[in-house]
Structure 1
Amino acid sequence: MIRTPADFRRIAVALAGAGSMISVVLIAELLLHWPFYRPMYGTFGLDLGSPLAVKFREGNMRATGPFIEATIAAFCLTFTVFAASQIRSAFTTKLFHLGLMALLVAGVAAPQSRGALLGLAVGFAAIYLYRRSQTVIATLLVGAAVFAAFFVTVGLQPETTAPADMHSSETIEYRKRLMTRGMEEFAKSPLTGDTFPNILSRMQDLRQGEGIVDFVNTYLWVALLSGVLGLLLFLAAFGTRLFHLWTLRPRLRKAGFGPGAAAFVFASLCAPVVMLIFTSFGARIPMLVFATFGLSTALLTAVRKGRRPREVFVAVGPAAPDMRVPPRAGSFTRVSE
């Protein structure tokens, strides 16, 4: 059960630890051009077909690690960065914490997913907005403008035949065609959508070199399958949780929580809203998104019930002001740093 600040702290520490190990693998794959996990599927007789293809961008291998696809690897790793950013007190020195953050960000960059990098920027903006750090918010807004200009430039650049740019141009062109064809199919049944086999059979003209129709826009995919009604419900799943987390801020300290735990969950909900524009809703992505939904519900329940456990400081050890508020004088046994 997830009920106390200590529970959220343990989850954040576990995510940061798992993310650091995956980051090492991803960085090594990028530097060595060696997909460590790909041969394992053949060894155990798992034939996944085209998803096992090794992809390159600008001459560099897109690291996948234990994931099927590079974009999925980067998507999942962004959550570990948000978790690690809110557990400064778990490290003996600030330098160690910054070192871990640098390792995790490098891990997110290794798969070379632009959507994940944009999600990372949005997530950090959400964290500082939630914690009301005005200076950092201004800096991140400027950074967001730079990112937006970059994406617009990439989207408008003409096609090129240069080998280094060929894959990027093909990707951009495919996304444009997917959106155009998707909207045409959406117009045929805008309210409730259609079945996946019917949609797939009508969009065979988008079948690419891997032999699949890749729905690299989750919102378009949801709209095609469930229409406007389904898309609104999908967006509401994010929107309602973000709204309740935002309105929860004044009650965090009263319930024994600092802003760190809520900021971590808030960022983990904001980032996917952006990243799902650039990827499909498959493999481990739904698992992680739904787990984040559950984490937000647990946090809302714990704060609303006002649990303030007396064992938190003793169980965790050194005080963690970023995840909890200090106890009132005389309320707890003091633990020395």
Structure 2
Amino acid sequence: MPEQFRALIVILFLACVVFVLARKPAADLIPDRDFKRRRNLWFLVTLVAFFSFGFWVYAAAATITLFLAGRREHNVMALFFMLVFAIPPAMVQIPGFGVINYLIEVNHIRILTLCVLLPAALALSKQGDTVRLGRTGPDKWLLGGVVLMTLLYLRETTLTDTLRQAVSLYIDVVLPYYVASRALKTVQDFKAALLAFVIAAFLLSIIAMAEFARHWLLYNGLIAALGIDWSMSSYLSRGGSLRASATTGQAIALAYVISVAIGFFLFVQGYVRSKLQRYMGALLLAAGLVVPLSRGPWIGTGVIIAVFIATGKGAVKRLSLLACAGLLALPLLAVVPGGEKVIDLLPYVGNVDKENITYRERLLDNSWIVIQRYPFFGSFDFRNTPEMQAMIQGEGIIDIVNSYISLALRFGLVGLGLFVGFFFSIMLGIHKAMRAFPDKDDEHRRLGRALLATLLGIMVIIFTVSSITVIPVVYYSAGGLGMAYMQLVRRLRNSEAAALASPALQPR
């Protein structure tokens, strides 16, 4: 039996386990018909991919399937989050048919974006109550960054390639942000969207656990069967164990997605009535976070949990308990069987792959020298500088394992400032919006806490990884969710103000 079919049997079995266990708690948040429809689409997309035997066959079938599904879906972000990790995002070039080298690169995420988010964006733009793109502060930061990147591409490439890059930025950056920031208008919309992301992360977690246990990357056979040459997905180990990656292509990208899902889980778990089901969900995500053996997302997850607690009720007491639990865990691990292996994996504590931390420290030092040489708008040939050539690893590559450094090197401090300003303006807006709800148990405030904590965690994690595979689409979508939350709170305030101003409510 071909490898992809053996893997498919395992994947379908594990997915059935997740969907069966998730159906009842999901009913506490969304109608069962929505859960079943999105679940069936996940199975359909997976089966189409495994039985296509070629990327273009899959692309054609997926385009029809996703376009029709998007027209029936009332919450397109929930559909997007459910399916965005269903298939590895390996890129394939659309040929130029002799006129140009190629038209554009496409992958599963771009097909999903064009079939689901683009029609939704066009529909939203025609609605009278939709805030036009470019009117808000975060919009301006984002569009400023996109325009700057597009213009800077001109200095090193052709006009045709610059247009290609501009289209790619629109698909990968603008569309996920715009639809996420405009389509979600009620708390119920947020429940459905965040739940979909969490369920998708449950699927990734259980698949990653199987990969870790069997030392088998389950989606590699699919990539080969589709005829895609994708160097991103490869067998990596740490401490003698396989680093799971599932559909994300890289272990750290998988752990990053699970970390974001934990932030969203902090919100949705509040609606699940069964404590057992909440604990099971938390344990599954925790296992999914561990098996990629990626330390940066572990730190990011700690930040997410700490910020969520710090913005809630009894923050000092709960943070103190969390700190004590962390301090007690280290000596406990030192005495339990297998505990020393766990300690060895911890950053700055263990001894496994300590050279990775040293490499990151050298990268910061050498990159700063190059950034000072091209401070404002960076340089596209920064890799040819002596400082960066000194960073070449055994594989013959320069791994820029830091999204901020990558931006500063390519687009200068101006580009980096626009990127950071975008997320900072959203986090500041969320924090201000949360003040409208003094009751720290209010669901609107709890939603803001989860979004704020998640965005802060993302900003920490991308300090340890470049923006590869699924990483950018997740953080731009999360930024859109933050913008949608700000607009939700603004509408609630306006409604309350209108109600108070109504003559029918005035004292006679």
TM-score grouping bracket, smaller chain normalisation: 0.7 to 0.9
Match of 1:328 in 2: none
Q: Map of 1:251-290 to 2, 5 A cutoff?
A: 251-252=436-437, 257-290=443-476
TM-superposed CA distance for 1:84, in Å, is 1.7
1:71 aligned to which of 252, 264, 269 = 252
Match of 2:382 in 1: 199
* Residue 228 (structure 1) aligned with residue 409 (structure 2): no
TM-superposed CA distance for 1:111, in Å, is 0.2
What is the distance in 2 between the residues matched to 1:173 and 1:244?
36
In 2, are the aligned partners of 1:108 and 1:117 still within 8 Å (CA)? Answer: yes
AA of the residue aligned to 2:279: L
AA of the residue aligned to 1:199: F
Match of 1:29 in 2: 211
Match of 2:222 in 1: 40
What is the distance in 2 between the residues matched to 1:283 and 1:146?
36
Deviations 1:161-183 (A, max 9, x none): xxxx4xx0332332233223212
- Judged with a 3 Å threshold, the aligned counterparts in structure 2 of structure 1 residues 230 and 142 are, in CA distance, closer, same or farther, namely farther
Deviations 1:211-237 (A, max 9, x none): 322110112112212222222222222
Match of 2:95 in 1: none
Deviations 1:58-93 (A, max 9, x none): 010000001111000100111111222222354341
In 1, are the aligned partners of 2:220 and 2:233 still within 8 Å (CA)? Answer: yes
TM-superposed CA distance for 1:44, in Å, is 1.2
Match of 1:306 in 2: 492
Q: Which runs of 5+ in 2 are unaligned?
A: 1-182, 330-342, 496-508
What is the distance in 2 between the residues matched to 1:178 and 1:88?
39
- Judged with a 3 Å threshold, the aligned counterparts in structure 2 of structure 1 residues 95 and 257 are, in CA distance, closer, same or farther, namely closer
Structure 1 runs of 4+ with >3 Å offset = 139-147, 149-154
Q: Secondary structure at the match of 1:66?
A: coil
Match of 2:309 in 1: 128
AA of the residue aligned to 1:47: D
Q: Looking at both structures, which has the greater relative contact order when contacts are Cα pairs under 8 Å and sequence separation is at least 6?
A: 1
What is the distance in 2 between the residues matched to 1:272 and 1:139?
24
TM-superposed CA distance for 1:258, in Å, is 2.9
Matched pairs, number: 293
Deviations 1:240-299 (A, max 9, x none): 211121121232479x85322112211121101111111001221110000011111111
What is the distance in 2 between the residues matched to 1:118 and 1:240?
23
Match of 2:370 in 1: 185
In 1, are the aligned partners of 2:378 and 2:408 still within 8 Å (CA)? Answer: yes
Structure with more helix by fraction = 2
What is the distance in 2 between the residues matched to 1:206 and 1:283?
22
Deviations 1:129-160 (A, max 9, x none): 2224322223345678899x964445xx7xxx
In 2, are the aligned partners of 1:74 and 1:113 still within 8 Å (CA)? Answer: yes
What is the distance in 2 between the residues matched to 1:249 and 1:187?
39
What is the distance in 2 between the residues matched to 1:52 and 1:282?
11
Q: Map of 1:37-116 to 2, 5 A cutoff?
A: 37-49=219-231, 51-116=232-297
What is the distance in 2 between the residues matched to 1:73 and 1:186?
30
Q: Secondary structure at the match of 1:27?
A: helix
What is the distance in 1 between the residues matched to 2:209 and 2:398?
29
Q: Which runs of 5+ in 1 are unaligned?
A: 158-164, 310-337
Q: Secondary structure at the match of 1:65?
A: coil
Kindly, what percent of the aligned residue pairs are identical? 25
TM-superposed CA distance for 1:47, in Å, is 0.6
Q: Kindly report the root-mean-square deviation, in angstroms, between the aligned alpha carbons of the 2 structures.
A: 2.5
What is the distance in 1 between the residues matched to 2:347 and 2:251?
19
In 2, are the aligned partners of 1:130 and 1:246 still within 8 Å (CA)? Answer: no
- Judged with a 3 Å threshold, the aligned counterparts in structure 2 of structure 1 residues 4 and 215 are, in CA distance, closer, same or farther, namely same
Match of 2:165 in 1: none
What is the distance in 1 between the residues matched to 2:432 and 2:285?
30
In 2, are the aligned partners of 1:122 and 1:270 still within 8 Å (CA)? Answer: yes
In 2, are the aligned partners of 1:9 and 1:261 still within 8 Å (CA)? Answer: no
* Residue 247 (structure 1) aligned with residue 432 (structure 2): yes
What is the distance in 2 between the residues matched to 1:187 and 1:31?
46
